[in-house]
């Protein structure tokens, strides 16, 4: 109890100081303005997936970054189920409560497009996109394929068996986009996670997979799997995968990112929204953010607030086109 | 090899690492003990507190939680018929019967001894042949797993001996309940009635708590004020004969558990009931299975521990998690800046060998911890039911809520508690139901994948020699006992004359 009072006091001092700095000119972009300032208490960060997965890792990273930035205590709650629907529905029910946050990613957009849920991205207040995670097209070391063009050519000829991890997963989407762009069809075998796909590739059940660099780096470095191309706009700068050409270089006009970030419930005050945006900006400037992004081989394309909403609108339209097939 | 072991001992035998190994196995035992909290959740929750540690220390502690939970899960299975861990469901069958007969102490002790022996055997295998084994494990692709799942179903159906039809009925009911939720592969919603809580299906842990814990409590309440089990202290301590009788079951359980643990995704739950199912067929004491056979506790408990260790074969050698808990552990590797993958043995020898050696230390600690505690825990049954049942009800409901922070789980537990009670009333076996539910999603996934590989033709199963072998074994499980029975009768006459094994048949 005592420590909470101390924290609140420090927070109040910090806000007063900030308000002092940005004295006259307009509303400060920082911690929510001086009067009627939003002060978080007992914050929950919902992770709509089980503990231990990629969403859980990003949720915990964001929560600890925001804790350092705000001094508030943020408890991570895993509310898994329904491919994320349970967690999002829970946040949906918290409309107007600025002490709830949710570690979000592409399922925010894909679930409402494919499943009968009561919300879509406009039901929430998007705060920050943390960064992007693209995928690499990978094959076993002894595969005859040397480039993504080889894979497409084979799909045109005798057929290629690709791995997908779920009906609305990132790899399902990128393979569909390649099919649409190149007018070919892949044979699919469904798996349930990236590591299952790796086992399927190593065991020879599937010929081609599409995986996040962070998921597959161990097998790439050992030489068990090879990366043919990356489905990103530009080549990666991480030295381990800098040599991998993009699909676009090979004439396959496909790039698609899974984004990660966090959102707040709908209907919260502008002060609360600005408060969280300011906290997010502070987190992105920290060492912890850079470390998270680099460990997961992601792209640090952070955007906030309105810009994030615009991004979601575009991304949702792209997804709809890909899933319409 | 020897060099590596030496390196491992150097790493693991520091005061700090032994201390955290102890903390890990102790926490694991407690986590395994609590219904609802399993090793996967336990490791994930406690992961953040290890951030300040050296990577190897953190992983030693987290792994300790994992295999410690396999020991702890048994205690409530035996004492109050409430499995603390999924891998201990099968242990309730004979373990609880033993407790009712006042033999809870030996049941707990044999489980600790069996777990220990299984752990040591599987560790030796893990250290000696992990990389080549991992390559063999990769041969088990969806088609082969489909055959393994059919074998699993056959074993579940024939689980409780005589009542074949009842077993089959309950296993099918379990499979049907498993179809609720989003379909694997296609993504269609099935039987969700617009309820988002049902999108991911009926969760197994809630069903387990409901059917076993609440079902048993409701049933006992209906029976009325039963006397607490009166056991003399003499009966609480395990006898030499118990150990020698259980040894074949422990060894078989270790082998079966290890084999299933190596397969990515199969996990220790599958291993434990496969082992029980097979033991029931081959044990010299098969007649008393289901009525409190000590082998019925020794076998699955050895298997789940062997499987927990074997899970590290694909995890360390290939960077592919063997089960849910090792998946969380692999995530922890990344957090500590270690790249899990096939190069781990070469790039981080100190970490890998230190971790493996710490398993030895952890299992010794667990044995030392659990063996003397077995009679102590068994004393719990002296608590009058009037006090014990409210405690069980309360911990069950809190456990259910803790699984997902969701009241829906609590309602599910209550619904399945009533169902469990009804099953007991009409004498339907519960284990096949719960195992059908566990197997359902795995079976369906393998079915969908196999169908996709064969482009709609399930005949591809017969193109894989491994799958054909597994299917032949499954067929043998059904056919051979029917053929053997008349033969055995002929033999039995001879045996009695010689006087061999007279008491056992």
Q: Please state the three-class secondary structure of B167-198 as a single string.
A: HHHHHHHHHHHCCCEECCCCCCEECCCCCHHH
With a cut of 60, say whether residue A31 has pLDDT above it: no
Determine contact, residues B159/B431, Cβ cutoff 8 Å: yes
| B211 and B273 share one domain | yes
| B449 and B494 share one domain | no
**Residue from B194, B326, B341 whose CB has the most chain A CBs within 10 Å, to mutate:** B341
**Interchain proximity A187–B452, CB inside 8 Å:** yes
Does residue A18 sit in helix, strand or coil?
A: helix
Nearest to B442 by CA among B77, B140, B35: B140
- The CA-based diameter of chain B, rounded to the nearest angstrom, is 69
Alpha-carbon span B237 to A203, nearest angstrom = 48
Closest chain B residue by Cα to residue A50: B41
A-B C-beta contacts closer than 8 Å: 149
Contacts of B363 (CB under 8 A, 6+ apart): B67, B115, B116, B119, B120, B123
Alpha-carbon span B113 to B56, nearest angstrom = 27
pLDDT digits (tens, 9 = 90+) for B68-92: 988 888 888 888 888 877 788 889 8
Determine contact, residues B2/B50, Cβ cutoff 8 Å: no
Number of CB atoms found within 10 A of residue B227's CB: 7
Q: What is the DSSP letter of A244?
A: P
A12-133+258-324: CATH topology is D-Maltodextrin-Binding Protein; domain 2 (3.40.190)
Of B23 and B47, the one with more pLDDT: B23
| B477 and B458 share one domain | no
**Interchain proximity B43–A52, CB inside 8 Å:** yes
Total domains in chain B come to 2
| Cβ-Cβ contacts under 8 Å, A296 against chain B | 334
| B365 and B407 share one domain | yes
DSSP string, A104-159: EETHHHHHHHHS--S--GGGEEEEEEEEEE--EEEEETT-S--SHHHHHHHHHTT-
The region of weakest confidence among A94-103, B269-278, B354-363, B496-505 is B496-505
Determine contact, residues A308/A260, Cβ cutoff 8 Å: no
pLDDT of residue B266: 64
**Residue from A116, A205, A240 whose CB has the most chain B CBs within 10 Å, to mutate:** A205
**Interchain proximity A166–B187, CB inside 8 Å:** yes
**Residue from A222, A223, A226, A296 whose CB has the most chain B CBs within 10 Å, to mutate:** A222
Nearest to A232 by CA among A317, A298, A161: A298
**Interchain proximity A57–B327, CB inside 8 Å:** no
Q: Give the residue carrying structure tokens 């055959």.
A: B147
| B248 and B116 share one domain | yes
Give the CA distances from residue B305 to residues B34, B268, B269, B308, in Å, rounded to whole numbers and listed in that order: 18, 7, 10, 5
**Interchain proximity B327–A89, CB inside 8 Å:** no
Strand partners, A252: none
pLDDT digits (tens, 9 = 90+) for B178-187: 999 877 767 7
**Interchain proximity B44–A168, CB inside 8 Å:** no
Q: What is the DSSP letter of A208?
A: B
Domain ranges, residue B149: 2-463
With a cut of 80, say whether residue B29 has pLDDT above it: yes
Rounded to 5 degrees, what are φ and ψ at B109?
A: -65, -45
Angle at B165 between CA B160 and CA B166, to 5 degrees: 60
Rounded to 5 degrees, what are φ and ψ at B157?
A: -60, -40
To the nearest whole Å, the CA of A25 is away from the closest chain B CA by 42
Determine contact, residues A235/A242, Cβ cutoff 8 Å: yes
How do beta strands B181-182 and A187-190 pair? unpaired
pLDDT band at B231 (very low <50, low <70, confident <90, very high): low
| B454 and B496 share one domain | no
Number of CB atoms found within 10 A of residue A84's CB: 27
| Cβ-Cβ contacts under 8 Å, A80 against chain B | 200, 404
User: Could you say which of B48, B138, B199 has the minimum Cβ distance to residue A85?
Assistant: B199
Alpha-carbon span B63 to B67, nearest angstrom = 7
With a cut of 80, say whether residue A122 has pLDDT above it: yes
User: Could you say which of B185, B339, B405 has the minimum Cβ distance to residue A218?
Assistant: B339
To the nearest whole Å, the CA of B449 is away from the closest chain A CA by 6
Alpha-helical (H) ranges within A22-98 are: 54-70, 85-92
Closest chain B residue by Cα to residue A162: B453
pLDDT band at A9 (very low <50, low <70, confident <90, very high): very low
pLDDT of residue A6: 40
pLDDT digits (tens, 9 = 90+) for B433-462: 888 888 888 898 889 999 989 888 888 999
| B135 and B51 share one domain | yes
pLDDT band at A25 (very low <50, low <70, confident <90, very high): very low
With a cut of 70, say whether residue A206 has pLDDT above it: yes
Nearest to B406 by CA among A324, A1, A80, A155: A80
Alpha-carbon span B55 to B268, nearest angstrom = 26
pLDDT band at B504 (very low <50, low <70, confident <90, very high): very low
How do beta strands A161-164 and B181-182 pair? unpaired
Closest chain A residue by Cα to residue B187: A167
pLDDT of residue A7: 41
The region of weakest confidence among A236-250, B12-26, B153-167 is B153-167
| Cβ-Cβ contacts under 8 Å, A117 against chain B | 196
Does residue B492 sit in helix, strand or coil?
A: helix
pLDDT of residue B492: 64
pLDDT band at B154 (very low <50, low <70, confident <90, very high): confident
pLDDT of residue A14: 43
Q: Which two tokens stand for residue B218?
A: 């409701």
**Interchain proximity A222–B339, CB inside 8 Å:** no
**Interchain proximity A195–B186, CB inside 8 Å:** no
**Residue from B190, B317, B320, B336 whose CB has the most chain A CBs within 10 Å, to mutate:** B320
Complex ipTM more than 0.85, yes or no:
no
| B374 and B503 share one domain | no
Alpha-carbon span B298 to B91, nearest angstrom = 8
pLDDT digits (tens, 9 = 90+) for B381-409: 788 878 888 888 888 888 888 777 788 88
pLDDT band at A13 (very low <50, low <70, confident <90, very high): very low
Q: What percent of chain A has pLDDT over 70?
A: 87
Query: Across residues A227-256, what is the average pLDDT?
Result: 93
**Interchain proximity A218–B342, CB inside 8 Å:** yes
**Interchain proximity B343–A200, CB inside 8 Å:** no
Does residue A5 sit in helix, strand or coil?
A: helix
| Cβ-Cβ contacts under 8 Å, A82 against chain B | 181-182, 196-200
With a cut of 70, say whether residue B493 has pLDDT above it: no
User: Could you say which of B48, B200, B339 has the minimum Cβ distance to residue A83?
Assistant: B200
Contacts of B323 (CB under 8 A, 6+ apart): B261, B265, B266, B267, B268, B311
To the nearest whole Å, the CA of B423 is away from the closest chain A CA by 28
Determine contact, residues B285/B167, Cβ cutoff 8 Å: no
Class of domain A136-250: alpha beta
DSSP string, B304-368: HHHHHHHTHHHHHHHS--SSHHHHHHHHHHHHTT---STTHHHH-HHHHHHHHHHHHHHHHHHHH
Closest chain A residue by Cα to residue B319: A218
pLDDT of residue B500: 40
Alpha-carbon span A122 to A101, nearest angstrom = 15
**Residue from B182, B196, B205, B342 whose CB has the most chain A CBs within 10 Å, to mutate:** B196
With a cut of 50, say whether residue B336 has pLDDT above it: yes
To the nearest whole Å, the CA of A319 is away from the closest chain B CA by 16
With a cut of 60, say whether residue A15 has pLDDT above it: no
To the nearest whole Å, the CA of B406 is away from the closest chain A CA by 8
Mean pLDDT score of chain A: 84
Nearest to A267 by CA among A17, A91, A74, A68: A91
To the nearest whole Å, the CA of A140 is away from the closest chain B CA by 13
How do beta strands A225-230 and A100-105 pair? unpaired
**Interchain proximity A168–B197, CB inside 8 Å:** no
**Interchain proximity B194–A116, CB inside 8 Å:** yes
Does residue B452 sit in helix, strand or coil?
A: helix
Closest chain B residue by Cα to residue A111: B187
| All structural domains of chain A with their residue ranges | 12-133+258-324, 136-250
Q: What percent of chain B has pLDDT over 70?
A: 92
Closest chain A residue by Cα to residue B408: A86
Give the CA distances from residue B121 to residues B93, B117, B127, B355, B411, in Å, rounded to whole numbers and listed in that order: 25, 6, 10, 16, 42
| Cβ-Cβ contacts under 8 Å, B181 against chain A | 82
Mean pLDDT score of chain B: 84
**Interchain proximity B41–A51, CB inside 8 Å:** yes
With a cut of 90, say whether residue B365 has pLDDT above it: yes
Of B161 and B483, the one with more pLDDT: B483
Closest chain B residue by Cα to residue A110: B187
Alpha-carbon span B9 to B6, nearest angstrom = 5
Indicate the length of chain B as a whole number: 505
With a cut of 50, say whether residue B417 has pLDDT above it: yes
Query: Across residues B8-17, what is the average pLDDT?
Result: 90
């Amino acid at each position: 109890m005592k420590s909470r009072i101390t924290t609140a006091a420090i927070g109040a001092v910090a806000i007063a100081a900030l308000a002092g700095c940005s004295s006259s000119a307009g509303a400060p972009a920082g911690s929510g303005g001086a009067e009627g300032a939003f002060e978080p208490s007992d914050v929950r960060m919902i992770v709509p997936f089980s503990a231990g997965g990629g969403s859980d890792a990003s949720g915990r990273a964001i929560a600890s970054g925001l804790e350092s930035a705000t001094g508030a205590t943020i408890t991570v709650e895993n509310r898994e189920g329904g491919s994320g629907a349970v967690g999002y529905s829970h946040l949906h029910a918290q409309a107007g409560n600025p002490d709830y946050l949710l570690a979000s990613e592409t399922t925010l957009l894909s679930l409402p497009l494919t499943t009968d849920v009561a919300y879509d991205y406009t039901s929430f207040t998007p705060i920050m996109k943390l960064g992007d995670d693209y995928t690499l097209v990978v094959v076993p070391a002894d595969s005859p394929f040397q480039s993504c063009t080889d894979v497409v050519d084979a799909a045109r000829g005798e057929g290629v068996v690709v791995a997908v991890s779920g009906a609305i997963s990132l790899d399902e989407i990128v393979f569909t986009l390649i099919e649409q762009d190149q007018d070919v069809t892949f044979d699919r075998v469904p798996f349930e996670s990236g590591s299952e796909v790796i086992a399927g590739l190593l065991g020879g059940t599937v010929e081609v997979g599409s995986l996040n660099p962070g998921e597959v780096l161990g097998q790439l470095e050992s030489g068990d799997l090879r990366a043919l191309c990356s489905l990103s706009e530009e080549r990666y700068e991480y030295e381990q995968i800098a040599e991998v050409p993009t699909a676009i270089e090979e004439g396959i006009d496909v790039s698609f990112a899974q984004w990660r970030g966090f959102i707040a419930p709908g209907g919260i005050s502008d002060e609360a929204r600005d408060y969280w945006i300011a906290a997010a900006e502070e987190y992105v400037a920290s060492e912890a953010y850079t470390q998270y992004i680099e460990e997961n081989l992601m792209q640090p394309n952070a955007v906030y607030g309105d810009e994030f909403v615009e991004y979601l609108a575009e991304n949702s339209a792209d997804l709809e086109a890909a899933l319409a097939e | 090899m020897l060099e590596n072991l030496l390196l491992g001992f150097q790493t693991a035998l520091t005061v700090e690492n032994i201390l955290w190994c102890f903390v890990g196995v102790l926490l694991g035992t407690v986590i395994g003990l609590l219904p609802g909290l399993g090793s996967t959740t336990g490791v994930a929750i406690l992961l953040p507190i290890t951030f300040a540690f050296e990577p190897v220390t953190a992983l030693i502690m987290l792994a300790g939680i994992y295999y410690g939970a396999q020991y702890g899960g048994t205690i409530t299975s035996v004492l109050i018929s409430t499995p603390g861990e999924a891998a201990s469901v099968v242990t309730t069958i004979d373990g609880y019967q033993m407790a009712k007969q006042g033999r809870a102490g030996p049941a707990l002790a044999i489980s600790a001894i069996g777990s220990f022996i299984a752990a040591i055997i599987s560790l030796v295998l893990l250290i000696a042949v992990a990389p080549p084994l991992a390559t063999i494990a990769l041969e088990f692709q969806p088609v082969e797993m489909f055959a393994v799942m059919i074998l699993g179903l056959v074993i579940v159906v024939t689980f409780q001996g005589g009542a074949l039809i009842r077993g089959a009925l309950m296993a099918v009911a379990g499979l049907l309940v498993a179809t609720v939720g989003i379909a694997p592969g296609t993504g269609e919603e099935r039987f969700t009635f617009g309820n988002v809580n049902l999108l991911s299906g009926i969760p197994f842990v809630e069903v387990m708590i409901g059917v076993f814990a609440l079902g048993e409590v409701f049933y006992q309440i209906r029976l009325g004020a039963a006397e607490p089990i009166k056991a003399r202290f003499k009966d609480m301590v395990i006898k030499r004969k118990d150990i020698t009788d259980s040894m074949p079951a422990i060894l078989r359980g270790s082998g079966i558990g290890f084999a299933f643990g190596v397969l990515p995704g199969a996990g220790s739950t599958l291993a434990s009931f496969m082992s029980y199912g097979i033991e029931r067929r081959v044990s010299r004491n098969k007649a008393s299975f289901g009525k409190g056979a000590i082998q019925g506790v020794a076998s699955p408990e050895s298997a789940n521990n062997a499987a927990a260790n074997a899970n590290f074969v694909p995890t360390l050698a290939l960077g592919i998690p063997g089960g849910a808990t090792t998946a969380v552990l692999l995530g922890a590797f990344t957090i500590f800046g270690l790249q899990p993958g096939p190069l781990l043995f070469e790039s981080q020898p100190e970490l890998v060998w230190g971790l493996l050696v710490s398993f030895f230390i952890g299992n010794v600690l667990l044995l030392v911890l659990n063996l003397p505690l077995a009679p102590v825990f068994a004393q719990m049954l002296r608590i009058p039911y009037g006090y014990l049942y409210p405690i069980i009800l309360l911990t069950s409901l809190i456990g259910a809520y803790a699984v997902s922070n969701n009241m829906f789980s609590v309602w599910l537990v209550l619904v399945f508690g009533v169902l469990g009670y009804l099953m007991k009333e009409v004498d339907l076996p519960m284990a096949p139901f719960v195992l059908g539910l566990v197997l359902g999603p795995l079976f369906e996934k393998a079915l969908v994948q196999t169908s996709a590989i064969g482009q709609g033709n399930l005949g591809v199963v017969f193109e894989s020699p491994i799958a054909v072998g597994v299917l032949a074994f499954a067929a043998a499980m059904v056919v051979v006992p029917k053929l053997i029975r008349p033969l055995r009768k002929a033999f039995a006459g001879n045996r009695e004359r010689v006087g061999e094994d007279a008491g056992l048949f």
